[in-house]
Structure 1
Amino acid sequence: MAKEFRGGASLKAELSCPICLSLYKNPVLLRCGHSFCNECIQKTLSAQQQSKGTYSCPMCNAQLDPTLELQKNFQLCNIVKVFQPTASEGQQDEGSAEGKEEVVPCDYCLDQSQPAVKTCLSCDASLCQAHLNKHNAKASQQDHILVGVGAGGGAAERRCPEHGKLLECFCQYEEQHICVLCSIAGRHKGHSIVTLKEAHSKQLGTLSIIMARLQEDKNALITALKELQRSENQVKTNTKIATALLQKQFEEMKTAMIQKEKKILSDIESIEKKQLADITEVKKKMEEKRDEAEKHLQSLQKMREEPDLFLFFKEFKVANDRAARRDFSIDTMDVVVQLNKARINQYQQWIQNLMSQLDQYLQRMKNELTNQIRRRRI
């Protein structure tokens, strides 16, 4: 019956939700393979979303998809239904098993034996509370070894397998529990032997030293962790400062470059307007001269066809004098719309130098940030 009960208790543990610790109710299966009550996991995932905004399995912390759909675990659901009718019977068996916990009787009670509360290894007897008080009242039994009932695997484990005596001494040479006969006539003869109390006192001293050393190490680790936390915070702060500084400087550089670009394009546009205005003015004068030359040509052509020689010579002299007084010279303009090649190369070299200096500046800043923290071992 005890085996069957233990098996039932083990099965019940396997069929219990890790969150509510009760039998599964409408169990659902996560992607990681763990199952929970539908209501329990819904509440847990809702709390996770409010606190950290992500979903994870409460058992293994596996990350879950934000859009996960909980799948009902039909097989586990059927197993729970089959197990439930026998669960109440198991609980009753559990109560009866607890009620039948083994009780060790007192070896000194005569009429009605009382349950023992301690076992004296020196007397090899179990004692109830009344006989334990009488036992402790005797001066000769003050050094007897008392243990809890059934503690330490029984009295046999605390006795010398060679002499059958209690292990009341400690061999410091071989660091073993021994009996008195082992120190007198046994293989531990001549060794440094002390009582268990003396060995216990020495071990407590050693234990205190070890604990003090561990406490120092713990305190040092706590201090180091605090320092690392401060360093972590400082790294984040420095990164924010450096990022903000660089972003500001690059924004200023971009603003300045845009302004320079607008200025030089505006200057080029102004130069273009002035040159076009000069060309327009010269063009207008040339067109006027062209039109006047056309008029003279038409007049001379008409005069050429004059049949009256007298009128021909008269008009020819007038036309010749008028043509001699006019200026039909051509005004030319040399316009070269290009930049000096040497000057362009100079500008390009200047830009390359500027970018190189910028790279050096950024590398120095990166090195300064990198060298702020150096890993060292205490």
Structure 2
Amino acid sequence: MAKAKEEFGEVSSLEDELSCPICLCLYRNPVSLSCGHSFCKECIQRALGVQQQSKASYSCPMCKIQLGPILELQKNFQLCSIVETFLATTSKGEEGKSYPEERKEMVPCDFCLDQPQPAVKTCLTCGWSLCQAHLNKHNAKDSQKDHVLVEAGAGHSVEERKCQEHGRLLECFCKDEREYICMLCSFEGSHKGHSIITLKEAHDKELGVLSYTMKQMQENKSAIANALEELQKSENQLKTNTKTVTSQLVKMFEEIRAEINQKEQQILSDIQYIEKKQLSAITKLKKKMEQKRDEATQHLQSLQKMREQPDDFLFLKEFKLAQDRIENQNFKVGKMEIFVVKLDPARIKRCRSLMCEYMSQLDLLMREVPI
């Protein structure tokens, strides 16, 4: 007895762990938020809908962490599988744990007058739905012991379980036509001479087919779940790889731009240095030329005055002194080699060719990625 209580407590504790914090029922289509908490997909959508209507920012109902303006509800395949396994291995799972939207409508007892009680069975022979008390009275009569009883509400209506041709209960199954028939249909009418079995035999036979079908569907479901997990892994891997490659390319292009900018600054700086150096030399040379020009002008003016000297002795004396001064000075014009900055067309063509080759190598990076 103590062991049974202990096992029941463990099952109850596990059930609590596998229950949605919002509806307090076992998870249905569980999804996870970015904070790690899980909920039924429909429950969390309703909760987030209320937050949206109140114009509040999205937040987890459990930890109140802000979720951001864009939500991504990831299906929790592992939790979904655990819940299904739990339902399949517990009595509650075998009986089918009901949820608010899955509860069957209450069928009232046809014999309760003042306060109708929920019917537990429907007698197909009598056509009445019976509560437990009236069912006991019904079964107590010997004449009604062979009546066919079904769960209340099962099969929608009694008329669906009766033969439209003879008005009798559908108690047999035609294997040839795969139709429900009554006893009279097997002796007369379109089913005469067909292979006829009872509904019980048809049930037992189809139950085996059902078990095989369930097994196949379980395998299909497991295969789909595995495929979804693989797709999720592929999606995560793709995002990770894309992020890594993007980071690598951004870094590479930043390095290329930095090197190009540095080389541009260096070349332009060298050109400006050469220009400045040559301009300084030209300025110095211009000053010397201007000084020589002024001195030559003075000598010309002095010689011009000598031409007007009437005294021969003084003319010869002054001219001799002027000649000595002129010979002691250098009036030759010096040539300066100017370095004109220009680009070699062949080198420009070569640089452009290398740039095109480099761009082609960058294009090859993307060709390796399937589009």
Q: TM-score, normalised by structure 1?
A: 0.61
Matched, 1:247 2:250: yes
Q: Which residue in the other structure is 2:69 paired with?
A: 53
Q: Which residue in the other structure is 1:29 paired with?
A: none
Q: Which residue in the other structure is 1:5 paired with?
A: none
Matched, 1:105 2:111: yes
- Please tell me the residue identity of whatever aligns with 1:370: P
What's the CA shift for 1:198? 1.0
- Please tell me the residue identity of whatever aligns with 1:215: Q
Provide the secondary structure at the position in 1 that maps to 2:229. helix
Provide the secondary structure at the position in 2 that maps to 1:46. coil
Q: Which residue in the other structure is 1:269 paired with?
A: 272
Residues 296-331 of structure 1: CA deviation (Å, up to 9, x unaligned): 223323333333222212222232343344332211
- Please tell me the residue identity of whatever aligns with 1:46: A
Q: How does 1:14-93 map to 2 (within 5 A)?
A: 44-48=54-58, 51-53=67-69
- Taking structure 1 as reference, are residues 268 and 102 closer, same or farther at Cα in structure 2, changes over 3 Å only? closer
Matched, 1:237 2:240: yes
- Taking structure 1 as reference, are residues 332 and 42 closer, same or farther at Cα in structure 2, changes over 3 Å only? closer
- Contact residue 122 and residue 166 of structure 1 kept, 8 A: yes
Give the aligned length.
274
Q: Which residue in the other structure is 2:361 paired with?
A: 361
Counterparts of 1:154 and 1:261, CA distance in 2 = 90
- Contact residue 172 and residue 196 of structure 2 kept, 8 A: yes
Provide the secondary structure at the position in 1 that maps to 2:197. strand
Counterparts of 1:327 and 1:358, CA distance in 2 = 58
Q: Which residue in the other structure is 1:24 paired with?
A: none
What's the CA shift for 1:259? 1.1
What's the CA shift for 1:196? 0.3
What's the CA shift for 1:48? 4.2
Residues 242-280 of structure 1: CA deviation (Å, up to 9, x unaligned): 221121111111111111111111211221123223323
- Taking structure 1 as reference, are residues 355 and 201 closer, same or farther at Cα in structure 2, changes over 3 Å only? farther
Q: Which residue in the other structure is 2:77 paired with?
A: none
Q: Which residue in the other structure is 2:83 paired with?
A: none
Matched, 1:146 2:149: yes
Provide the secondary structure at the position in 1 that maps to 2:173. strand
- Please tell me the residue identity of whatever aligns with 2:54: T
What's the CA shift for 1:148? 5.0
- Taking structure 1 as reference, are residues 202 and 141 closer, same or farther at Cα in structure 2, changes over 3 Å only? farther
What's the CA shift for 1:172? 0.8
- Taking structure 1 as reference, are residues 163 and 271 closer, same or farther at Cα in structure 2, changes over 3 Å only? closer
Provide the secondary structure at the position in 1 that maps to 2:226. helix
Counterparts of 1:154 and 1:304, CA distance in 2 = 150
Counterparts of 1:277 and 1:156, CA distance in 2 = 117
What's the CA shift for 1:145? 1.5
What's the CA shift for 1:120? 4.0
What's the CA shift for 1:129? 3.4
Counterparts of 2:177 and 2:164, CA distance in 1 = 17
Counterparts of 1:332 and 1:124, CA distance in 2 = 130
- Taking structure 1 as reference, are residues 309 and 226 closer, same or farther at Cα in structure 2, changes over 3 Å only? same
Matched, 1:346 2:352: no
What's the CA shift for 1:144? 4.2
Q: Which residue in the other structure is 1:166 paired with?
A: 169
Counterparts of 2:128 and 2:288, CA distance in 1 = 141
Counterparts of 2:305 and 2:269, CA distance in 1 = 54
- Please tell me the residue identity of whatever aligns with 2:111: P
Structure 1 or 2, whichever has the larger Rg, is 1
Q: Which residue in the other structure is 2:211 paired with?
A: 208
What's the CA shift for 1:54? 7.5
Q: Which residue in the other structure is 1:34 paired with?
A: none
State, as a whole percentage, how many aligned pairs show the same letter. Answer: 51
Q: Which residue in the other structure is 1:131 paired with?
A: 137
Gaps (5+ residues) in structure 1?
A: 1-39, 56-100, 107-113, 372-378
- Contact residue 104 and residue 115 of structure 1 kept, 8 A: no
Gaps (5+ residues) in structure 2?
A: 1-49, 60-65, 72-106
